[in-house]
Structure 1
């Protein structure tokens, strides 16, 4: 048989050969994002002498990084120095780029950050953030917006992403049972940066040249961060829980497991269950503390990840836009650039500082509240409050009421900060925190550019800067987005029991509403005998509202079967019970 020609062989082999590199790349990416555990050596564990310093040190580091939130103070001076048209708003784009790059950087380098010592990533983030300030100073000196975007937007944005994720990751892991309060305490510094640096930036601009202000600001930040980063270290092995425990380890749960093992196990089999086995059923969940830890690949296939992603994006987009535009909004709608120019009731840099205080306090207060009443309930409250705020703000600017407008902005900012304070704890069992921060990028770049584009469109159509129509249109689409986020949050399964709860036959949807579980079935629902169960029938579509007793029985039965499975698996592998 004649051999195929080389060209034929190449043609036949090319599809497989082209697919092979793609498979290798995909495999390497999955390996990179699947293994994020940090394994310190004995010397690194020995360095952890001041664990109580993790939160204050993390707060101060993020306080320095949070100076980016006071960027709005630089907008007007930079536009006047670098542009012939100061009203075009080119400096604002720098803020959007920086936060956009922050999220993408967290997604790309997140696994490396989580699997390495925070000193390594901390130093890199600190140096790049400082380099971004130096390049911003050079850009102002040579009057180049492109260099400003690259320096402060891109280079400093990379430093922000690396430094933010590494600090949050190390700080929150020291208190695994109070992740909301711990993460909120650390990220509170990020909001606090706007509070202090709005005054510092204002003073630097008034006392020095604009380019010198960036050099001095960068030097202040890198000096403070270098000292604080010496106290940032991860917890020793075994202290932090990878994922979230399946059940609580309280005495109430152990008693419920003991009752389930005692009452249910003998009824399921004619074989007598020994006291040793019963004890195993009752205590294994408490002693071994099995957890759920979802890898990135699994998270990307989970509807809960994407529902939370959209809800988080909806929660932050409004305030991200306002953070970079609040001075302009105050001056155009209520101040010196208004229809009747006059001094605003409150200077814009003071309003930005107070906004930073709400941002800062929201991060720790909401994080603590989520530890108390639950993450999903807290998130729903934040989104509902934002919808109310966005519905009321157009009325305040149309009627010219300054203080109600500003108070509503501050309330929304508290919700914004609260989302960031709660999300690290929310994500402890879902996926890499860095990947999730791409929502920050989308919200800052997409939201910011959309806001600016709509305003510029109306200005080019003949509207004046003080007209309310461009801003009301922006508030309308933002409110619609927050409403979508509210629906996503309602549909999200936030607790371990909700995610693991056994599905009924022919179930197409399960959702918890006001503490009760609702299951949607496409065929006639099965009525559990002896249990209060409400069913609404719409043809073949059935809605089943589980009672507390029914939900409890199903869940305890699932836990018993889970423990039995683990017990039999240990017996098969030769383990002794």
Structure 2
């Protein structure tokens, strides 16, 4: 009965509603909050969303992308924070290398991730204009508080203003904008999300130069006032073009049978239903599939849809394996982003063994890194739409392994352009992870869980920025406190080694991510020990156990009959079997995988029908 109930849950959504208790504790309220992750607009709101920009323009699908890019562009100004480290330290302590200004960046990104996790369900249930407006206003207030902190020269107020307050606005605005844009493009989520997140990388590229220009012409407090005002005006204008897609634009769940499984599937005259599919099996009519008994058994009248709740998504091992992979992907570049000017100065500039001007000014290097960050978000997102999310993620992690292996040798040889090439290569992978992760989550757990799961997974961003940054700085300070010079490379080599180990762990975790419903439900043979998908192919390890007849030492004789020692021949064979064990590996072809999957679907369809018609 338990298995039958589980099977039923996979093919139909079950809503259990009861009378709410009169008194609820905090735990009950929290569970309820994380149970509702679906935006349900009224009919009047749906009509209103047909027009954007204060109701003056008809809403078009393409409008979400440029608006999302510009909003993320403003939020991406946080990536240019490294330009402020030295000026703020000089203002507060008269020493550009001391003062702790860089900690502000770590706090902002740390708060960003946890804010996304906390407000994810609310963002999912709210109109994107509402959540986006809340985010941009809080982000602006963070800039105002930072300006006040620099005016009164209070580092703690700077941490609170730009680190905490702006970080909260950043978390709400980042998640709501990206997920709103990606929902408009269900067939190209990776590209759409990558385009939106591209603006975040572009903010680093542009605001590095903008910050330098402002610092040369106005004071630090005025710089933050100007930046906050620019961001507020641009984001307020662009948020008027952000609205959710109409009902039925996305599948309300994850189909067990995808169109790639039905290569001849067409949709002539199909009538879209509430979940984006077709009603009454009309999409199969005239294709020949509707006359195929196997597909009729699999599909019934509609394609079976699996609904995954937020709780099920967050409890699954696949989510946390993906979490570890994402964490490993972003640590290296997060540390480099916040310390690149200092690293360039110590290894190749005026603070190096042979003081000289670096071949490339630090602020320009930061801007170029922002360009690679921006390009990676689009290109990797596009690549993931073509070759698959997991394959793409494995490639970028493997690329980062190569970068970290080469990095110690490059800095020891004092090769500036080799160093920058490796940094920019890793930055493409870093940006690509951010561009692809919203689409990866939507594919795995459904569009209704995207904002919530995206918010939770961004806590990896927080951990990487705080723990990674502190670990990197701690190693550097340990060596300097013990007599090492800032330009010595061994302290950086130690940092690259622990980062390399982390990326390798992330690569292994990604191998075991079951990135699709097929991977999670694919039937396992009784003797299967391990199964994973590697670059689109199913690889499994089997541990077979069987018995083999042992050669008999002697045959029955007449004396055996006389003494009564004769045994039946079949029993004798059983007693003389030798147990064998054999470990073997299989790499399934696409045809073998498809056959096993179709057999599984037929079995599940039969089970489902027997449950619906118990008397049959």
Give the TM interval when normalised to the shorter protein.
0.7 to 0.9
SS class of match (1:518): strand
Distance in 1, matches of 2:142 and 2:425, equals 32
Higher helix share: 1
1:552 aligned partner: 594
1:39 aligned partner: 40
Cα offset, 1:300, TM superposition: 3.2
1:306 aligned partner: 320
Conservation of the 8 A alpha-carbon contact between 2:383 and 2:392:
yes
> Cα distance 1:298–1:458, how it changes in 2: closer, same or farther (>3 A)?
same
SS class of match (1:376): helix
2:564 aligned partner: none
Deviations 1:404-450 (A, max 9, x none): 11111011000000000100010013352111111111111110111
Distance in 2, matches of 1:436 and 1:496, equals 20
Cα offset, 1:241, TM superposition: 2.1
1:474 matched to 2:475: no
Distance in 2, matches of 1:458 and 1:183, equals 41
1:398 aligned partner: 412
Whichever of the two has the greater Rg, that structure is 2
1:373 is aligned, of 353, 370, 387, to 387
Cα offset, 1:563, TM superposition: 3.2
SS class of match (2:485): coil
2:207 is aligned, of 197, 209, 213, to 197
Distance in 1, matches of 2:359 and 2:489, equals 19
> Cα distance 1:427–1:251, how it changes in 2: closer, same or farther (>3 A)?
closer
1:222 is aligned, of 216, 232, 239, to 232
Cα offset, 1:549, TM superposition: 3.9
Distance in 1, matches of 2:433 and 2:301, equals 33
Distance in 2, matches of 1:414 and 1:22, equals 51
1:270 aligned partner: none
2:523 is aligned, of 502, 525, 528, to 502
1:120 matched to 2:130: yes
1:458 matched to 2:479: yes
Distance in 1, matches of 2:356 and 2:595, equals 67
Distance in 1, matches of 2:515 and 2:92, equals 48
Cα offset, 1:324, TM superposition: 0.6
Distance in 1, matches of 2:388 and 2:111, equals 31
1:88 matched to 2:98: yes
Deviations 1:215-250 (A, max 9, x none): 000000000000000111111111012343222225
Cα offset, 1:524, TM superposition: 2.4
1:67 is aligned, of 46, 59, 77, to 77
Distance in 1, matches of 2:74 and 2:401, equals 31
Query: What is the TM-score when the length of structure 2 is the normalising length?
Result: 0.81
Cα offset, 1:34, TM superposition: 2.5
2:344 aligned partner: 330
**Which segment drifts farther, 88-97 or 504-513?**
504-513
1:152 is aligned, of 148, 152, 162, to 162
Conservation of the 8 A alpha-carbon contact between 2:350 and 2:358:
yes
Distance in 2, matches of 1:426 and 1:538, equals 43
Cα offset, 1:552, TM superposition: 2.1
2:4 aligned partner: none
1:13 aligned partner: none
1:239-258 maps to which residues of 2 (within 5 A)?
239-249=249-259, 252-253=262-263
Conservation of the 8 A alpha-carbon contact between 1:424 and 1:433:
yes
Conservation of the 8 A alpha-carbon contact between 1:105 and 1:162:
yes
Conservation of the 8 A alpha-carbon contact between 1:101 and 1:158:
yes
Distance in 1, matches of 2:313 and 2:461, equals 18
Distance in 2, matches of 1:23 and 1:573, equals 42
1:297 aligned partner: 311
1:408 is aligned, of 419, 422, 428, to 422
> Cα distance 1:180–1:469, how it changes in 2: closer, same or farther (>3 A)?
same
Conservation of the 8 A alpha-carbon contact between 2:390 and 2:535:
no
Distance in 2, matches of 1:50 and 1:347, equals 42
Cα offset, 1:396, TM superposition: 1.6
1:136 aligned partner: 146
Cα offset, 1:281, TM superposition: 4.2
Runs of 4+ in structure 1 deviating by more than 6 angstroms, as ranges, are: 20-23
SS class of match (2:486): coil
Cα offset, 1:561, TM superposition: 2.6
> Cα distance 1:202–1:555, how it changes in 2: closer, same or farther (>3 A)?
same
Distance in 1, matches of 2:339 and 2:218, equals 24
Distance in 2, matches of 1:314 and 1:22, equals 43
1:178 aligned partner: 188
Deviations 1:391-414 (A, max 9, x none): 112112111111111111011000
> Cα distance 1:253–1:89, how it changes in 2: closer, same or farther (>3 A)?
farther
1:235 matched to 2:245: yes
1:345 is aligned, of 335, 359, 371, to 359
SS class of match (2:258): coil
Cα offset, 1:294, TM superposition: 2.8
* Number of residue pairs matched by the alignment: 527
2:223 is aligned, of 200, 213, 236, to 213
SS class of match (2:352): coil
> Cα distance 1:377–1:276, how it changes in 2: closer, same or farther (>3 A)?
closer
**Which segment drifts farther, 243-252 or 401-410?**
243-252
> Cα distance 1:22–1:169, how it changes in 2: closer, same or farther (>3 A)?
farther
Distance in 2, matches of 1:505 and 1:402, equals 56
Cα offset, 1:292, TM superposition: 3.4
Cα offset, 1:514, TM superposition: 4.5
Query: What is the TM-score when the length of structure 1 is the normalising length?
Result: 0.86
CA-based RMSD: 2.7
Distance in 1, matches of 2:191 and 2:373, equals 15
> Cα distance 1:107–1:120, how it changes in 2: closer, same or farther (>3 A)?
same
Cα offset, 1:522, TM superposition: 5.1
User: Any stretches of 5+ residues in structure 2 without a counterpart?
Assistant: 1-20, 51-58, 267-288, 548-578
1:492 matched to 2:509: no
1:76 matched to 2:76: no
SS class of match (1:34): coil
